[in-house]
Amino acid sequence: MEKRTDKNLYTILFAVGMVVVVGSLLAFVAQSLKAKIDENKRIEKQQNILYAMGVNENDESSVSFIADEKVGEEFGKYIKKQIVITKGTNVQEDEKAYLISIKKEQTKAKDGEERRLPLFIGEKESKTYYIVPIRGKGLWDAVWAYVAMDENMVIQGAYFDHQGETAGLGANIKERYFMDDFIGENLLDASGKFAGVAISKSNGDPLNEDKTDNEVDAIAGATITGDGVAAMLKSDLKLYVPYFKNLKNN
């Protein structure tokens, strides 16, 4: 005799029931944790932005952010203005600009829509920092960064992060010895044109003393991640050039 659990109708009903039960369970879990997860993401963004402008708790070689519970307050203290740039030079203030998803904006641009460019203006020890979030592709998945510049587009600090680069190789873009190399690098070339910063394996400048060569030293074994970082710096930061030009003219 055929077992009850072998019947087609039973199988179909079981499958439907299973989907309903598992689906509701997961929806419930996701809903109840959503607020906490969003909060974590917000804290992370604020920490990253502050890190780029040098507000962090680094010691000699560590990467340490402002503590979770303090970051909201510090963010309000150091970040004086958040703006969204459209059409190259149109500037609009927006207190929630730091929550803009760069990924979504890039997709928009691909579909031919206007891309909104967020920029955060920070002030520390009477020096002004212009911090910009950018995003690109590494070897396996997304890489992104927060780059702090002065009004001449000279990098003052940078924080890099990634989704899934190889541990010990590409993942080292978020180590100090890589990120700190960018400090002082000029994004413009000698003639004042935008050039970006290339990640070079052969620049003969491993200690990165030459700050006007538009190059930093690469990480061994992370060629594709490095190329991705350089491409991201070039394509995304270029969009901000009109804003900085305007800044100098005024």
Partner 1 sequence: MGLLSKKDSKLILDPLADDNPITIQVLGICSALAITAQLKASIVMAISVIFVLGIGNVVISLIRNIIPSKIRIIVQLTVVAALVIIVDQVLKAYSYQLSKELGAFIGLIITNCIIMGRFEAFALGNGPWKSFLDGIGNALGYGLILIIVGFFRELLGSGTLLGFKVLGDPIAKTGLYSIGYENNGFMLLAPMALIIVGIIIWVQRSRNQALIEDE
Where do contacts with partner 1 occur on this chain (CB under 8 A)? 3, 5-6, 10-11, 14-15, 18-19, 22, 25-26, 29-30, 33, 36-37, 40-41, 43-44, 61, 141, 163-164, 166-169, 177, 220-221
CA distance 48 to 96: 15
CB of 168 to partner 1, least distance (A): 3
User: Of 11 and 92, which CB lies nearer to partner 1 in the complex structure?
Assistant: 11
Cα Dmax for the chain: 89
Of 159 and 243, CB closest to partner 1: 159
Quick one: 5 or 191, whose CB is closer to partner 1? 5
Q: Is the CB of 63 or the CB of 188 nearer to partner 1?
A: 63
Cα distances (Å, whole numbers) of residue 238 to 116, 143, 148, 222:
14, 17, 14, 24
Nearer to partner 1, 11 or 152 (CB): 11
| CA angle 95–244–71, rounded 5-degree value | 35
Q: Which is nearer to partner 1, 9 or 191 (CB)?
A: 9
Shortest distance, CB of residue 75 to partner 1, whole angstroms? 17
Of residues 118 and 170, the one with the C-beta less far from partner 1: 170
**Per-residue 3-state assignment (H helix, E strand, C coil) for the chain:** CCCHHHCHHHHHHHHHHHHHHHHHHHHHHHHHHHHHHHHHHHHHHHHHHHHHCCCCCCCCCCCCCCCHHHHHHHHHHHEEEEEEEECCCEEEECCCHHHCCHHHHHHHHHCCCCCCEEEEEEEECCEEEEEEEEEEECCCCEEEEEEEECCCCEEEEEEEEECCCCCCCHHHHHCHHHHHHHCCCECECCCCCECCCEEECCCCCCCCCCCCCCEEECCCCCHHHHHHHHHHHHHHHHCCHHHHHHHHHC
Cβ of residue 5: shortest distance to partner 1, in angstroms?
Answer: 5
Q: Nearest distance from residue 198's CB to partner 1, in Å?
A: 23
Distance in Å, CB of 49 to partner 1, minimum: 17
State the nearest-atom distance from the C-beta of 120 to partner 1, in Å. Answer: 22
Q: How far is the CB of 216 from partner 1 (least distance, A)?
A: 17
